[in-house]
Amino acid sequence: MLVHRGIGVFNFCLSLSFLKVDSDFELPGTSKKNASEDVTPLLIEGPPGLIIVENLIDSVQDFLNGDRKGDAEKLTFLRCLSSLSQTLPYDETAESFIHDRIEQIVNALNMIIQQEPLHSLFTPTRQEVFTAITDLSSQEINLLFGSKEKLDLFRNLIRSMIALPSTKILNILQTVMPTGQYNTESLYRQTFQAFCEMLQSLVIQDPHLENLDQILEPWLQSAKDQERERAAASMAQMLRSLSRHVNLQPPLHFQNLGKLVALMSLLCGDPVEEVTQEAAEGTHHLLRITLRIKCLTYDKKSHQNFKGAVKKCKELLEIYNIRQFYSNPFKIAQVFEVFLSPNELSQYIITTLDGLKNPKHPCIQQSAGILLVTMVKCAETRFEKVSDIIRAICGRLPIIGQFIARQHAMNIVSLLISKPTYTDIVLDQLLLHPIPFDRHLAELWRTLDVDLPNTTWILWRLLRKLQKCHSMVEDKMAFMAVAATDALYEIFVGNKLQAATYRLFPQLLMTLLIQMHHSIGLTMSDVVFPSGMYIEEEVVITCTPLSFAIQATKALLLRTTCWFEFYTMEKKKGWNLLELESDHIQGVSLLANVLLEKHVVLAQRILYLLIPLLNRGNEKHRLTSAAFFVELLRSPLARRIPKRYTIVRLEEWLHHENYQFRVLSLKGIDNLLCYHQGMVREEIDGMIPAILSNLSEANERIVLLSISVLRNLLNTMDFTTLKNTMHALFSLFSDVRPKIHLLAVTLFGDSIKMVKSKDKKEIEGRILESLIPLLLHLQDEDDDVAKESSRVLSIICHFLKWKIPREVYHKDLWHGPLILGHVCFHKLKKISGDSCKI
């Protein structure tokens, strides 16, 4: 059914004018016979005589058993073996003899060919070896495939012909060392013809193409011109023979069609004209074979797609004439692309990459680069083994020296990573290299050249890989997290994805700050590396996950023109704060404050981003997000945020067991009171009991922030709350920490001013209790405490309507009895109601 449905397409393919077989086409060193005649042996007409067969068998056996194997014996053996092969259809004895001694014959041929010098050609021994193998092959006796010994023989046969010096050198050698027996030029031509006929016989013997792909691959990539020329000519003749072979039927396939197309395409751009001509002819036949194979084997489910591919091929071929087509290798890529499977496309790319390593021939490097870019652009999303392609590019970058060639290789990465289908695959492969990235990988990250619509997607996918790592246990870190952080740093330095960096600035900054928090205290020994990855000892000693995160954050600020923020962090040692577990939150707050000061728009974008992050991730994740969030509550945009995301969250943190959350809650409340007091006053009043309870905390920062919040709430407190506040503040008068003591005294004095006349009697007792501590602190060593105590004492006297001499407020100790006397007098007076004067 498959073949019947393909008849129309098959006939259409054969109708292409450029595929008509040229009966007058003649390969170098061959006659105008057709391909089947070229490799058909000369058979003996009729059964040979029994004596002749026995003599041939005896001669072959003598050589196999003998020790002396000179040139004459070798030639006799080879010619007898060739003649004996022609008797096989008529003589069972000869057939049995050959089949029973295949292994011996293979070893003998291997010995003969290895003894032939590679630097000269003086005898027809090589030619006779090739002829003998061709004759046996025509009788379906395989000497070159199926075992290690046969494959060794095959490799040695190829090497013995292809590796010969150039014909010019061979002629010079004949002049220097004349043998007088053979003409070197004629002998070379005949030997090479016999070699090509041997290869053609193998191709026809194996029409399913299972071995064709490997035959000459290493030599087609040789650095020596004469070796590439011979290999290209041999391949061209094999492909010509195969294209004219009438028995090509399914199952039929090239195992490595993509590789073969790449090799031939590269040779079409070779600097040696003879190589280019041979490669162009071979590519012509290869396209004919490929069309025929695809027409016979295409999937019936994709009938319309295949017809479209053939039509595209025809259109491309009509645009360019044959000569122009093969003189431009990138046009070959355009035509073959429509017929290559996803796996073959990967073969093509990986093979063409090897062309970039050829420093001897810059034109081959240039051709390889054009072929790569053309194929990737044409094939778009049809690749399957993308990870293999990226791995091959990364592995070859260190040995590609030419700048343009390196750019071509890196352009392939850019093209593949820009396809959403491949983005994650490419990123995963690039991130599987040791960190810090070497200069080649760093250059690749820095030079990613992607169309603007795709830049955000790529950066976002890299960012997501980093974010997913933040769910690991806190005492370990995923290698992917450090690698992704290093990749972000290289991208920021290269600045090729600048638009995406601005667009994703909020996510990038917060993710890197969270990565810093996770990295505090970890070394490279705490990183979970992929199995088999080796990290240099110097890296383990000098680098830490935290250092990667900090350098990436610095690069981000500089590339987004946040220069003021960068230098402020440098000047105020903000980076040092971020490195310490105890001070990390302060470092985050510092950065948030300065960002809000100079880049309000960026800060406001981060504010919206943070709302869903406040309740995600582990504690470090939430702490970093909360620290940035509370500082941004000073922004006017905070008015638009629903209270359930501000007040409710701050109240939860106020009761949190982690003191850092309580600190952040108090800072957030303080910011709301300072910048949006009218909106949130009623909701915050309900938090005052919890705030007052924090005054008894051992943590100095919590106490100071609580006092600051109470100061902002003072104006609207009712009498009961004010009374409780004064009581809590009075308990701090004995605190030995100067800052707390000073602020408590100050706020206590301000609280007295808030007491209304009707409530004076109820509060007098608490105020009188504060007199002695205040009087004692008039003598405090801290001048600020002494001055504030004096100020508050004046407020109390005014509140109580006492008149006390100015000496009471003097710091000198000899005024002490006078002070106490006045205080006792007013207290007694208050008790007795006496109105006498002192």
Nearest-angstrom CA–CA distance, 590 and 574: 7
Helix/strand/coil for 224 = coil
Query: Omega of the bond prior to 689 within 30 degrees of 0, cis?
Result: no
Helix/strand/coil for 710 = helix
**pLDDT of 465 strictly over 80:** yes
> What are the pLDDT digits (tens) for 339-356?
888 888 888 888 888 888
Q: How confident is the model at residue 553, as a pLDDT?
A: 97
**pLDDT of 111 strictly over 80:** yes
**pLDDT of 445 strictly over 90:** yes
Q: How confident is the model at residue 684, as a pLDDT?
A: 84
Cβ contacts of residue 705 below 8 Å, gap of 6+?
663, 666, 667, 670, 694
Q: How confident is the model at residue 703, as a pLDDT?
A: 93
Q: How confident is the model at residue 180, as a pLDDT?
A: 56
Structure tokens at 284: 């012509």
In 3D space, the residue among 653, 623, 628, 624 whose CA is nearest the CA of residue 638 turns out to be: 628
Lowest-confidence range among 202-216, 452-466, 549-563, 696-710?
202-216
**pLDDT of 337 strictly over 60:** yes
Q: How confident is the model at residue 17, as a pLDDT?
A: 31
**pLDDT of 9 strictly over 90:** no
| Confidence tier at 708 by pLDDT (50, 70, 90) | very high
Q: How confident is the model at residue 298, as a pLDDT?
A: 67
Share of the chain above pLDDT 90, in %: 30
Q: Which amino acid is at 645?
A: Y
Distance of alpha carbon 40 from the chain centroid: 55
- Mean per-residue pLDDT for 380-390? 86
Q: How confident is the model at residue 68, as a pLDDT?
A: 67
Q: How confident is the model at residue 14, as a pLDDT?
A: 33
- Mean per-residue pLDDT for 692-712? 91
**pLDDT of 35 strictly over 60:** no
> What are the pLDDT digits (tens) for 286-314?
888 887 777 776 666 666 667 777 777 77
Q: Across the chain, which distance is largest between two alpha carbons, in Å?
A: 163
Q: How confident is the model at residue 780, as a pLDDT?
A: 81
DSSP line for 144-180: SSSSHHHHHHHHHHHHHHHTSPPHHHHHHHHHHS--S
According to DSSP, residue 47 is labeled: P
Phi-psi region of 331 (alpha: psi -120 to 50; beta: other; left: phi over 0): alpha
- Mean per-residue pLDDT for 704-727? 90
Structure tokens at 471: 């769910």
**pLDDT of 362 strictly over 70:** yes
**pLDDT of 2 strictly over 60:** no
**pLDDT of 624 strictly over 90:** yes
**Number of residues that this document lists for the chain:** 838
Q: How confident is the model at residue 774, as a pLDDT?
A: 86
Q: Are 660 and 624 in contact, with CB atoms under 8 Å apart?
A: no
Nearest-angstrom CA–CA distance, 255 and 257: 6
Q: Which ranges of 177-302 would DSSP assign to H, the alpha helix? A: 184-205, 217-220, 225-243, 257-267, 273-297
**What's the mean pLDDT when you consider all of the chain?**
82
pTM recorded for the entire structure? 0.79
- 3-state helix vs strand vs coil in the chain, percent to 5: 75, 0, 25
Q: How confident is the model at residue 7, as a pLDDT?
A: 34
- Mean per-residue pLDDT for 516-539? 85
* Residue 562, CA distances (Å) to 76, 292, 511, 568, 586 in order: 87, 62, 17, 10, 19
Cβ contacts of residue 164 below 8 Å, gap of 6+?
118, 119, 121, 170, 188, 226, 230
Q: Are 494 and 442 in contact, with CB atoms under 8 Å apart?
A: no
According to DSSP, residue 65 is labeled: H
Nearest-angstrom CA–CA distance, 231 and 219: 6
**pLDDT of 689 strictly over 50:** yes
Q: Are 204 and 242 in contact, with CB atoms under 8 Å apart?
A: yes
According to DSSP, residue 530 is labeled: P
Structure tokens at 478: 């995923």
Q: Which ranges of 479-544 would DSSP assign to H, the alpha helix? A: 479-494, 498-503, 505-519, 537-542
> What are the pLDDT digits (tens) for 147-203?
888 888 988 999 999 989 888 888 777 777 666 577 888 888 999 999 999 988 887
**pLDDT of 231 strictly over 70:** yes
Nearest-angstrom CA–CA distance, 39 and 241: 9
| Neighbouring C-beta atoms of residue 155, cutoff 10 Å | 13
Q: How confident is the model at residue 692, as a pLDDT?
A: 92
Cβ contacts of residue 399 below 8 Å, gap of 6+?
357
**pLDDT of 504 strictly over 70:** yes
| Confidence tier at 750 by pLDDT (50, 70, 90) | very high
> What are the pLDDT digits (tens) for 629-644?
999 998 888 888 888 7
- Mean per-residue pLDDT for 386-400? 89
Q: How confident is the model at residue 486, as a pLDDT?
A: 95
**pLDDT of 545 strictly over 80:** yes
Nearest-angstrom CA–CA distance, 133 and 511: 69
**pLDDT of 324 strictly over 70:** no
**pLDDT of 41 strictly over 50:** no
**pLDDT of 665 strictly over 90:** yes
Top mean-pLDDT range of 4-18, 291-305, 702-716: 702-716
Phi-psi region of 343 (alpha: psi -120 to 50; beta: other; left: phi over 0): alpha
Lowest-confidence range among 50-54, 135-139, 261-265, 500-504?
50-54
Higher pLDDT, 74 or 246: 74
The position carrying tokens 């302060």 is: 586
Structure tokens at 664: 């952040």
Q: How confident is the model at residue 794, as a pLDDT?
A: 87
Q: Are 514 and 620 in contact, with CB atoms under 8 Å apart?
A: yes
**pLDDT of 4 strictly over 80:** no
Top mean-pLDDT range of 489-493, 655-659, 676-680: 489-493
Q: How confident is the model at residue 508, as a pLDDT?
A: 96
Structure tokens at 41: 């042996």
What radius of gyration do the chain's Cα atoms show? 45
**pLDDT of 22 strictly over 70:** no
Q: How confident is the model at residue 110, as a pLDDT?
A: 92
CA atoms within 13 A on the CB side of 377: 13
Q: How confident is the model at residue 46, as a pLDDT?
A: 46
Q: How confident is the model at residue 33, as a pLDDT?
A: 38
Nearest-angstrom CA–CA distance, 102 and 633: 89
Q: Are 634 and 671 in contact, with CB atoms under 8 Å apart?
A: yes
Higher pLDDT, 502 or 303: 502
| Confidence tier at 378 by pLDDT (50, 70, 90) | confident
Q: How confident is the model at residue 286, as a pLDDT?
A: 84
Q: How confident is the model at residue 358, as a pLDDT?
A: 67
Top mean-pLDDT range of 9-13, 137-141, 290-294: 137-141
**pLDDT of 511 strictly over 90:** yes
**pLDDT of 64 strictly over 90:** no
